[in-house]
Structure 1
Amino acid sequence: MTDRRVELPTAADTAALGRAIGARLRPGDLVVLAGPLGAGKTCLAAGVGEGLGVEGPVTSPTFVIAREHPPLPAALGGRGVVLVHVDAYRLGVGTAVTPDPREVAAQLDDLDLDTDLTRAAVVIEWGEGVAEHLVAEHLLVRLDRTGTVDDPEAREAHLRGPARLVGP
Protein backbone atom coordinates (compact mmCIF):
# COMPACT_ATOMS: atom_id res chain seq x y z
CA MET A 1 0.00 0.00 0.00
CA THR A 2 1.15 3.48 -0.86
CA ASP A 3 0.20 6.70 0.90
CA ARG A 4 0.22 10.20 -0.56
CA ARG A 5 -0.94 13.62 0.62
CA VAL A 6 -1.96 16.30 -1.88
CA GLU A 7 -2.74 19.96 -1.21
CA LEU A 8 -5.75 21.15 -3.23
CA PRO A 9 -5.94 24.96 -3.09
CA THR A 10 -8.94 25.19 -5.44
CA ALA A 11 -11.84 23.15 -6.74
CA ALA A 12 -9.97 23.03 -10.08
CA ASP A 13 -7.09 21.28 -8.28
CA THR A 14 -9.55 18.76 -6.81
CA ALA A 15 -10.96 18.05 -10.26
CA ALA A 16 -7.41 17.74 -11.66
CA LEU A 17 -6.57 15.12 -9.03
CA GLY A 18 -9.73 13.26 -10.06
CA ARG A 19 -8.67 13.40 -13.72
CA ALA A 20 -5.26 11.96 -12.82
CA ILE A 21 -6.91 9.13 -10.88
CA GLY A 22 -9.41 8.50 -13.68
CA ALA A 23 -6.61 8.23 -16.23
CA ARG A 24 -5.20 5.27 -14.25
CA LEU A 25 -8.45 3.38 -13.60
CA ARG A 26 -9.35 0.08 -15.23
CA PRO A 27 -12.43 -2.13 -15.00
CA GLY A 28 -12.44 -3.73 -11.55
CA ASP A 29 -10.97 -0.73 -9.76
CA LEU A 30 -12.76 0.68 -6.72
CA VAL A 31 -12.26 4.22 -5.45
CA VAL A 32 -13.73 5.02 -2.03
CA LEU A 33 -14.20 8.72 -1.28
CA ALA A 34 -14.45 9.93 2.31
CA GLY A 35 -14.74 13.30 3.99
CA PRO A 36 -17.29 15.65 5.50
CA LEU A 37 -20.08 17.38 3.59
CA GLY A 38 -18.60 19.94 1.22
CA ALA A 39 -15.13 18.38 1.20
CA GLY A 40 -15.11 17.95 -2.58
CA LYS A 41 -16.04 14.29 -3.08
CA THR A 42 -18.39 14.95 -6.00
CA CYS A 43 -15.93 17.40 -7.57
CA LEU A 44 -13.24 14.71 -7.39
CA ALA A 45 -15.66 12.12 -8.86
CA ALA A 46 -16.44 14.49 -11.75
CA GLY A 47 -12.71 14.73 -12.42
CA VAL A 48 -12.46 10.92 -12.37
CA GLY A 49 -15.17 10.83 -15.03
CA GLU A 50 -13.22 13.30 -17.17
CA GLY A 51 -10.04 11.23 -16.75
CA LEU A 52 -11.91 8.10 -17.81
CA GLY A 53 -13.53 9.89 -20.72
CA VAL A 54 -17.13 9.05 -19.90
CA GLU A 55 -20.40 10.58 -20.95
CA GLY A 56 -21.31 13.18 -18.40
CA PRO A 57 -21.62 15.36 -16.61
CA VAL A 58 -20.79 13.40 -13.48
CA THR A 59 -22.97 14.84 -10.74
CA SER A 60 -23.99 13.68 -7.30
CA PRO A 61 -26.14 10.55 -7.47
CA THR A 62 -27.52 11.22 -3.97
CA PHE A 63 -31.16 10.71 -4.87
CA VAL A 64 -30.68 7.77 -7.24
CA ILE A 65 -27.87 6.22 -5.14
CA ALA A 66 -25.95 4.98 -8.23
CA ARG A 67 -25.48 6.30 -11.74
CA GLU A 68 -23.71 4.63 -14.65
CA HIS A 69 -21.69 6.67 -17.14
CA PRO A 70 -20.77 4.87 -20.37
CA PRO A 71 -17.49 5.71 -22.07
CA LEU A 72 -17.34 8.25 -24.85
CA PRO A 73 -16.16 6.98 -28.23
CA ALA A 74 -12.36 6.76 -28.44
CA ALA A 75 -12.33 9.61 -30.99
CA LEU A 76 -13.82 11.85 -28.28
CA GLY A 77 -11.42 10.78 -25.53
CA GLY A 78 -13.17 7.72 -24.15
CA ARG A 79 -10.98 4.96 -22.76
CA GLY A 80 -13.59 2.23 -22.99
CA VAL A 81 -14.16 2.04 -19.23
CA VAL A 82 -17.65 2.45 -17.74
CA LEU A 83 -17.90 4.55 -14.55
CA VAL A 84 -20.38 3.56 -11.86
CA HIS A 85 -20.72 6.47 -9.41
CA VAL A 86 -22.39 5.64 -6.09
CA ASP A 87 -23.38 7.91 -3.22
CA ALA A 88 -23.82 5.89 -0.02
CA TYR A 89 -24.99 8.93 1.98
CA ARG A 90 -28.66 7.99 1.59
CA LEU A 91 -27.85 4.52 2.90
CA GLY A 92 -27.35 6.18 6.28
CA VAL A 93 -23.58 6.66 6.22
CA GLY A 94 -23.69 10.46 6.31
CA THR A 95 -26.47 10.84 8.85
CA ALA A 96 -26.27 11.79 12.50
CA VAL A 97 -27.33 8.27 13.49
CA THR A 98 -24.43 5.89 13.08
CA PRO A 99 -25.65 3.06 10.85
CA ASP A 100 -24.70 -0.55 11.28
CA PRO A 101 -21.87 -1.01 8.73
CA ARG A 102 -23.14 -4.52 7.97
CA GLU A 103 -26.54 -3.12 7.02
CA VAL A 104 -24.99 -0.51 4.73
CA ALA A 105 -22.71 -3.16 3.20
CA ALA A 106 -25.77 -5.33 2.56
CA GLN A 107 -27.52 -2.41 0.86
CA LEU A 108 -24.44 -1.86 -1.31
CA ASP A 109 -24.48 -5.58 -2.14
CA ASP A 110 -28.10 -5.15 -3.28
CA LEU A 111 -26.82 -2.69 -5.90
CA ASP A 112 -24.81 -5.57 -7.46
CA LEU A 113 -21.63 -3.53 -7.45
CA ASP A 114 -19.56 -6.70 -7.49
CA THR A 115 -21.06 -7.40 -10.92
CA ASP A 116 -20.34 -3.82 -12.02
CA LEU A 117 -16.73 -4.27 -10.99
CA THR A 118 -16.22 -6.92 -13.66
CA ARG A 119 -16.81 -4.31 -16.38
CA ALA A 120 -16.50 -0.89 -14.75
CA ALA A 121 -14.53 1.33 -12.44
CA VAL A 122 -16.62 2.14 -9.36
CA VAL A 123 -16.40 5.34 -7.30
CA ILE A 124 -18.31 5.33 -4.00
CA GLU A 125 -18.82 8.55 -2.06
CA TRP A 126 -19.32 8.00 1.68
CA GLY A 127 -18.10 4.42 1.22
CA GLU A 128 -15.36 4.21 3.84
CA GLY A 129 -15.94 1.37 6.26
CA VAL A 130 -18.68 -0.23 4.17
CA ALA A 131 -17.43 -0.75 0.60
CA GLU A 132 -13.93 -2.13 1.01
CA HIS A 133 -15.18 -5.73 1.00
CA LEU A 134 -16.09 -5.45 -2.69
CA VAL A 135 -12.49 -5.94 -3.91
CA ALA A 136 -9.15 -7.15 -2.60
CA GLU A 137 -7.50 -3.74 -3.20
CA HIS A 138 -9.01 -0.29 -3.48
CA LEU A 139 -8.02 3.36 -3.47
CA LEU A 140 -9.20 5.36 -0.48
CA VAL A 141 -9.25 9.14 -0.91
CA ARG A 142 -9.99 11.13 2.26
CA LEU A 143 -10.74 14.78 1.59
CA ASP A 144 -10.58 17.42 4.29
CA ARG A 145 -11.39 21.11 4.15
CA THR A 146 -8.35 23.10 5.22
CA GLY A 147 -9.55 26.49 4.04
CA THR A 148 -9.97 29.65 6.03
CA VAL A 149 -12.43 32.51 5.80
CA ASP A 150 -10.05 34.18 3.34
CA ASP A 151 -9.41 30.94 1.40
CA PRO A 152 -12.52 28.74 1.75
CA GLU A 153 -11.81 26.40 -1.19
CA ALA A 154 -8.59 24.85 0.15
CA ARG A 155 -8.67 21.10 0.65
CA GLU A 156 -6.24 18.32 1.39
CA ALA A 157 -6.44 14.78 0.01
CA HIS A 158 -4.96 11.72 1.68
CA LEU A 159 -4.68 8.80 -0.75
CA ARG A 160 -4.04 5.21 0.29
CA GLY A 161 -4.00 2.25 -2.03
CA PRO A 162 -2.05 0.42 -4.70
CA ALA A 163 0.83 2.50 -6.09
CA ARG A 164 -0.69 2.28 -9.60
CA LEU A 165 -3.74 4.22 -8.36
CA VAL A 166 -2.12 6.52 -5.82
CA GLY A 167 0.25 7.91 -8.43
CA PRO A 168 3.43 9.90 -8.01
Structure 2
Amino acid sequence: MEGTISTIVLPEVDDTVRLGQMIGERLRAGDLVLLAGPLGAGKTALARGIGAGLGVGGRISSPTFVLAREHPAGPRGVPLVHVDAYRLGGSLAELDDLDLDSELTEAAVVVEWGTESASRLSSDYLLVTLERRPDDQRVATLQGYGCWPGRVAGLGDGPADQRR
Protein backbone atom coordinates (compact mmCIF):
# COMPACT_ATOMS: atom_id res chain seq x y z
CA MET A 1 0.00 0.00 0.00
CA GLU A 2 1.36 3.40 -0.98
CA GLY A 3 0.14 6.92 -0.66
CA THR A 4 -0.85 9.48 1.91
CA ILE A 5 -0.46 8.31 5.47
CA SER A 6 -1.60 11.49 7.18
CA THR A 7 -1.83 15.24 7.01
CA ILE A 8 -0.83 17.07 10.17
CA VAL A 9 -1.29 20.73 11.14
CA LEU A 10 1.84 22.13 12.82
CA PRO A 11 0.91 25.41 14.59
CA GLU A 12 4.43 26.18 15.85
CA VAL A 13 7.98 25.50 14.65
CA ASP A 14 8.39 23.30 17.76
CA ASP A 15 5.57 21.10 16.42
CA THR A 16 7.51 20.66 13.18
CA VAL A 17 10.62 19.69 15.15
CA ARG A 18 8.55 17.22 17.24
CA LEU A 19 7.14 15.58 14.11
CA GLY A 20 10.70 15.22 12.83
CA GLN A 21 11.73 13.67 16.13
CA MET A 22 8.93 11.09 15.88
CA ILE A 23 10.07 10.25 12.34
CA GLY A 24 13.72 10.07 13.45
CA GLU A 25 12.87 7.66 16.26
CA ARG A 26 11.58 5.24 13.60
CA LEU A 27 14.56 5.52 11.24
CA ARG A 28 17.21 2.90 10.73
CA ALA A 29 20.23 2.57 8.47
CA GLY A 30 19.19 2.43 4.84
CA ASP A 31 16.15 4.69 5.19
CA LEU A 32 15.44 7.52 2.77
CA VAL A 33 13.29 10.53 3.68
CA LEU A 34 12.51 13.23 1.11
CA LEU A 35 11.43 16.69 2.25
CA ALA A 36 9.49 18.93 -0.12
CA GLY A 37 7.96 22.38 0.17
CA PRO A 38 8.69 26.01 -0.58
CA LEU A 39 11.34 28.12 1.09
CA GLY A 40 10.42 28.76 4.72
CA ALA A 41 8.04 25.81 4.97
CA GLY A 42 10.07 24.11 7.72
CA LYS A 43 12.20 21.48 5.95
CA THR A 44 15.32 22.23 7.98
CA ALA A 45 13.32 22.37 11.24
CA LEU A 46 11.92 18.94 10.39
CA ALA A 47 15.46 17.69 9.64
CA ARG A 48 16.61 19.02 13.05
CA GLY A 49 13.88 16.97 14.68
CA ILE A 50 14.85 13.89 12.67
CA GLY A 51 18.43 14.29 13.89
CA ALA A 52 17.20 14.61 17.48
CA GLY A 53 15.08 11.48 17.10
CA LEU A 54 18.10 9.60 15.77
CA GLY A 55 20.29 11.07 18.52
CA VAL A 56 23.04 12.03 16.06
CA GLY A 57 25.91 14.34 16.87
CA GLY A 58 26.43 17.81 15.48
CA ARG A 59 24.18 20.77 14.85
CA ILE A 60 21.58 20.20 12.15
CA SER A 61 21.46 23.18 9.81
CA SER A 62 20.69 23.68 6.15
CA PRO A 63 23.41 22.10 4.00
CA THR A 64 22.62 24.46 1.09
CA PHE A 65 26.18 25.58 0.47
CA VAL A 66 27.89 22.24 1.09
CA LEU A 67 25.12 20.09 -0.46
CA ALA A 68 25.48 17.36 2.17
CA ARG A 69 26.36 17.10 5.85
CA GLU A 70 27.18 13.89 7.64
CA HIS A 71 26.21 13.60 11.30
CA PRO A 72 27.86 10.84 13.32
CA ALA A 73 25.76 8.15 14.91
CA GLY A 74 24.58 8.62 18.45
CA PRO A 75 23.51 5.94 20.94
CA ARG A 76 21.16 4.32 18.39
CA GLY A 77 24.09 3.67 16.05
CA VAL A 78 22.53 5.24 12.94
CA PRO A 79 24.34 8.20 11.34
CA LEU A 80 22.46 10.84 9.34
CA VAL A 81 23.33 12.21 5.92
CA HIS A 82 21.42 15.47 5.37
CA VAL A 83 21.38 16.62 1.73
CA ASP A 84 20.08 19.82 0.17
CA ALA A 85 19.41 19.15 -3.52
CA TYR A 86 18.14 22.68 -4.22
CA ARG A 87 21.30 23.77 -6.01
CA LEU A 88 21.42 20.55 -8.01
CA GLY A 89 18.34 21.66 -9.94
CA GLY A 90 17.23 18.05 -10.46
CA SER A 91 20.60 17.06 -11.93
CA LEU A 92 20.98 13.30 -11.65
CA ALA A 93 24.69 13.46 -12.49
CA GLU A 94 25.47 15.75 -9.55
CA LEU A 95 23.31 13.64 -7.26
CA ASP A 96 25.27 10.57 -8.37
CA ASP A 97 28.49 12.40 -7.47
CA LEU A 98 27.30 12.51 -3.84
CA ASP A 99 27.33 8.67 -3.83
CA LEU A 100 24.14 8.46 -1.79
CA ASP A 101 23.55 4.88 -2.96
CA SER A 102 26.38 3.69 -0.71
CA GLU A 103 25.28 5.98 2.14
CA LEU A 104 21.86 4.34 2.07
CA THR A 105 23.29 1.09 3.36
CA GLU A 106 24.94 2.65 6.42
CA ALA A 107 23.00 5.79 7.30
CA ALA A 108 19.57 7.35 7.27
CA VAL A 109 19.48 9.84 4.40
CA VAL A 110 17.29 12.96 4.47
CA VAL A 111 17.10 14.96 1.23
CA GLU A 112 15.59 18.44 1.04
CA TRP A 113 14.34 19.44 -2.42
CA GLY A 114 14.98 15.93 -3.71
CA THR A 115 11.63 14.70 -4.93
CA GLU A 116 12.55 14.90 -8.62
CA SER A 117 15.90 13.16 -8.41
CA ALA A 118 16.39 11.39 -5.08
CA SER A 119 13.25 9.25 -5.22
CA ARG A 120 15.04 7.04 -7.72
CA LEU A 121 17.55 6.00 -5.05
CA SER A 122 15.09 3.58 -3.45
CA SER A 123 11.56 2.33 -3.95
CA ASP A 124 11.19 2.51 -0.14
CA TYR A 125 11.02 6.13 0.99
CA LEU A 126 8.99 8.57 3.02
CA LEU A 127 7.98 11.83 1.36
CA VAL A 128 7.08 14.69 3.70
CA THR A 129 5.58 17.69 1.92
CA LEU A 130 5.39 20.87 3.99
CA GLU A 131 3.30 23.89 3.16
CA ARG A 132 3.05 27.18 4.97
CA ARG A 133 -0.38 28.72 5.37
CA PRO A 134 -1.04 32.47 5.37
CA ASP A 135 -1.68 32.26 9.16
CA ASP A 136 1.95 31.01 9.49
CA GLN A 137 0.92 27.49 10.45
CA ARG A 138 2.55 24.66 8.62
CA VAL A 139 0.89 21.55 7.27
CA ALA A 140 2.80 18.32 6.71
CA THR A 141 1.56 15.62 4.38
CA LEU A 142 3.29 12.26 4.81
CA GLN A 143 3.32 9.82 1.89
CA GLY A 144 4.90 6.41 2.22
CA TYR A 145 6.27 4.27 -0.58
CA GLY A 146 7.34 0.65 -0.34
CA CYS A 147 7.61 -0.33 3.34
CA TRP A 148 6.81 3.11 4.75
CA PRO A 149 3.02 3.21 5.19
CA GLY A 150 3.11 0.64 7.98
CA ARG A 151 6.21 2.11 9.60
CA VAL A 152 4.84 5.57 10.23
CA ALA A 153 1.16 4.79 10.62
CA GLY A 154 -0.16 6.66 13.62
CA LEU A 155 2.14 9.67 13.34
CA GLY A 156 0.07 12.69 14.15
CA ASP A 157 -2.45 10.74 16.23
CA GLY A 158 -1.07 12.02 19.53
CA PRO A 159 -2.93 14.57 21.69
CA ALA A 160 -0.49 17.41 20.85
CA ASP A 161 -1.02 16.97 17.12
CA GLN A 162 -3.93 18.25 15.11
CA ARG A 163 -5.14 16.53 11.98
CA ARG A 164 -6.65 18.45 9.12
2:85 matches 1:58: no
The answer as to whether partners of 2:26 and 2:152 remain within 8 angstroms in 1 is no
The answer as to whether partners of 1:28 and 1:122 remain within 8 angstroms in 2 is yes
The answer as to whether partners of 1:35 and 1:144 remain within 8 angstroms in 2 is yes
1:54-113 CA distance string (max 9 Å, x none)? 0021110111000000112xxxxx210010000011112xxxxxxxx4xx1221111000
How far, CA to CA, are the matches of 1:167 and 1:143 in structure 2?
Answer: 18
The answer as to whether partners of 1:54 and 1:70 remain within 8 angstroms in 2 is yes
Determine what percentage of the aligned residue pairs are the same residue.
58
Q: Decide which of 79, 93, 96 is 1:109's aligned counterpart.
A: 96
Partner of 1:29: 31
1:42: Cα distance to partner?
A: 0.2
The answer as to whether partners of 2:79 and 2:108 remain within 8 angstroms in 1 is yes
The answer as to whether partners of 1:25 and 1:165 remain within 8 angstroms in 2 is no
Partner of 2:158: none
Give the residue type in structure 2 aligned to 1:79. Answer: R
Give the residue type in structure 1 aligned to 2:28. Answer: R
Give the residue type in structure 2 aligned to 1:54. Answer: V
Partner of 1:91: 88
Q: Decide which of 102, 126, 133 is 2:120's aligned counterpart.
A: 133
1:46: Cα distance to partner?
A: 0.4
Unmatched tracts of structure 1, length 5 or more: 73-77, 93-100
2:153 matches 1:167: yes
RMSD (Å) for aligned C-alpha atoms? 1.1
How far, CA to CA, are the matches of 2:29 and 2:14 in structure 1?
Answer: 26
Q: Decide which of 9, 13, 16 is 2:15's aligned counterpart.
A: 13
TM-score (norm 2): 0.87
How far, CA to CA, are the matches of 1:166 and 1:61 in structure 2?
Answer: 26
